[in-house]
Structure 1
Amino acid sequence: MAHDIPAVELAPGVNLPTIGFGTWQITGRSAYESARAALDAGYRHIDTATMYGNEEEIGRALRDSGLDRSDVFITTKLPPSHAGRERQTLDASLKALGVDFVDLWLIHWPPARGKSLPTWISFLEQRDAGRIRSAGVSNYDTALVDELTKETGETPVVNQVAWSPGQHEPQFLDDMRARRVVVEGYSSLKNTPLNDPALVGIAERHGVTVPQVVLRWQLHHDIVVIPKSTRPERMRENLSVLDFELTSEEIEAVSSV
């Protein structure tokens, strides 16, 4: 049974669940089994990429789950080295996933100088053709996002970036909010001292783990999270961050770690 996961609207009828299942570095049989377990646990947002090499396994997990395609939000990403081959790359992703469209397609990293804008224009063409429902970027700074908007009049709906208590920039988040760009955070636990006394104390007060506190902190900042795990119990644990809330003082304490 699916959890009642809040979603943010990217476009009319395109709703991105705020907790997704990340699949970086999960390949082969493990990718299939993990994706199946995540869908069984209630995840309805799967994040993958051409570069991850697991789209075929994720597509098979989706089919075997018995869920309708419309019930699961799928994100994949174009490697920067594939700039200029956008359509062919998307063809390969759709075939591997076994779907007619993806819900969100991201430029994984800014391509080499001068190629970002043509790639973005191609993304918009694929969206208008109905092969992707929404288009965004990953690892873009504010200036690069503004360049795409200035030249096309269209702003990426999502910017997926590394985000954690140990690696975050409040000004960047303010900039994205001002542009109505949804921020997705990856590597949530990286560069964060999980044994920090402040984090441990907050976790103990709520009867949760430190990783759950970190994910909850991100959600309080309206950042979409995509934690990954190959363990079903951890997948369920990550979903349960919706069951508690941090105080404003606790949020500030996590930000200061």
Structure 2
Amino acid sequence: MSTVPNISLNNGVEIPQLGYGVFQIDPAETKDAVLQAFEVGYRHIDTAQMYGNEKGVGEAVAESGLDRDEVFITSKLNNNAHDPEVAAQAFDRTLEELGLEHVDLFLIHWPLATVTNFVETWGAMEDFYRSGRAKAIGVSNFQPHHLNRLHAETTIPPAVNQIEVHPYLTQDEVRAYGAEHDIATEAWSPIAQGLVLDDPTIVRIAESHGRTPAQVTLRWHLQRGDIVFPKSVTRSRMEENFDVFGFELSTVDLADISELNRDHRTGPDPDTFNKIP
């Protein structure tokens, strides 16, 4: 079984660089999917209140037989819970759904900057962290100007920023800000919902290494320092996505893939997305 490297966050918490995401997995299928992921070797699970499947993740953790400290669990605050009092209630529900005394990482899912005050929300996040019920806290889909506000107006810096990143959206500016301020970058939609898998450059590099386009794309992320958590409910695809540590891309390979950037998003623009369910 491959050994997944850890990345040390800015508060010393260690996070596995490769995880398993449960976005869009049916709540009824989540427990079995996560149990399969554990069998493959994944020990980092990324969920969210918005996904509606925290309970299945918790059931899988309970049934896996793994010690709690062997598993890294991330969840995220829903868009309708930015008010600090509501956020506190939502966080309590997350722990209840997961059946855990703490999460390893808890994120604000979207900044919603034109309709909420995410700085006030971050104050609640700091409370979760200080209580020990969130071992690390961070944000998702934050742009540099959002992060600048947190830096100027709050005490505890985000440990991570989870953003859409893939070869067609390399996010150089946001990643550079994170590197400068010791905020780790997590990449959601790491293969652009499959869009990059037929790209001639990625196919060529994959063939040269005897690997699949998905493996090459994930390897590009890992060598850049991104934390990734691809999603699949298919066992063979889970195994394929996990088998990315037995080869290395060259400097030229990395540059060729990065040059594919076209600032193409598969999801919403954080500066305009303000949907509150």
* 1:13 to partner: Cα distance: 5.2
The residue aligned with 1:48 is 47
SS at match of 2:216: helix
Q: Which residue type is aligned with residue 201 of structure 2?
A: A
User: Is structure 2 residue 233 aligned with structure 1 residue 252?
Assistant: no
* 1:36 to partner: Cα distance: 0.3
The residue aligned with 1:123 is 125
In 2, are the aligned partners of 1:55 and 1:97 still within 8 Å (CA)? yes
Q: Which residue type is aligned with residue 106 of structure 1?
A: L
SS at match of 1:64: helix
The residue aligned with 1:210 is 213
Give 4+ residue runs of structure 1 displaced > 6 Å after superposition. none
CA deviations 1:63-115 (Å, max 9, x no partner) are 11000111100000001221111110011110010000000000000135452
CA deviations 1:161-183 (Å, max 9, x no partner) are 00000112222211110011000
CA distance in structure 2 between the partners assigned to 1:3 and 1:69 by the alignment: 20
* 1:120 to partner: Cα distance: 0.3
Tell me: CA distance 1:12–1:161, structure 2 relative to 1, closer, same or farther (3 Å): closer
CA deviations 1:117-136 (Å, max 9, x no partner) are 01101100111011100000
The residue aligned with 2:74 is 75
Q: Which residue type is aligned with residue 92 of structure 1?
A: R
Residues 122-201 of structure 1 correspond to what in structure 2 (within 5 A)? 122-190=124-192, 192-201=195-204
CA distance in structure 1 between the partners assigned to 2:69 and 2:30 by the alignment: 21
Segments of 5+ residues of structure 2 without an aligned counterpart are: 261-277
Residue 239 of structure 1 is aligned with which of 239, 242, 247?
242
Q: Which residue type is aligned with residue 93 of structure 1?
A: T
* 1:185 to partner: Cα distance: 0.3
CA distance in structure 2 between the partners assigned to 1:199 and 1:112 by the alignment: 36
Tell me: CA distance 1:256–1:20, structure 2 relative to 1, closer, same or farther (3 Å): same
Q: Which residue type is aligned with residue 75 of structure 2?
A: T
In 2, are the aligned partners of 1:76 and 1:104 still within 8 Å (CA)? yes
How high is the TM-score relative to the length of structure 2?
0.89
CA distance in structure 2 between the partners assigned to 1:216 and 1:3 by the alignment: 13
Percent identical among aligned pairs is 38
SS at match of 1:242: coil
CA distance in structure 2 between the partners assigned to 1:150 and 1:224 by the alignment: 26
SS at match of 1:193: helix
Tell me: CA distance 1:193–1:71, structure 2 relative to 1, closer, same or farther (3 Å): closer
Tell me: CA distance 1:167–1:11, structure 2 relative to 1, closer, same or farther (3 Å): closer
CA distance in structure 1 between the partners assigned to 2:49 and 2:57 by the alignment: 12
Segments of 5+ residues of structure 1 without an aligned counterpart are: none
SS at match of 2:58: helix
CA distance in structure 1 between the partners assigned to 2:12 and 2:109 by the alignment: 24
User: Is structure 2 residue 14 aligned with structure 1 residue 15?
Assistant: yes
CA distance in structure 1 between the partners assigned to 2:47 and 2:130 by the alignment: 22
CA distance in structure 2 between the partners assigned to 1:112 and 1:80 by the alignment: 11
* 1:232 to partner: Cα distance: 1.4
Q: Which residue type is aligned with residue 38 of structure 1?
A: A
SS at match of 1:8: strand
The residue aligned with 1:89 is 90
How high is the TM-score relative to the length of structure 1?
0.96
Q: Which residue type is aligned with residue 7 of structure 2?
A: V
Tell me: CA distance 1:20–1:233, structure 2 relative to 1, closer, same or farther (3 Å): same
SS at match of 2:73: strand
The residue aligned with 1:230 is 233
Two-structure CA RMSD over aligned residues (Å):
1.4
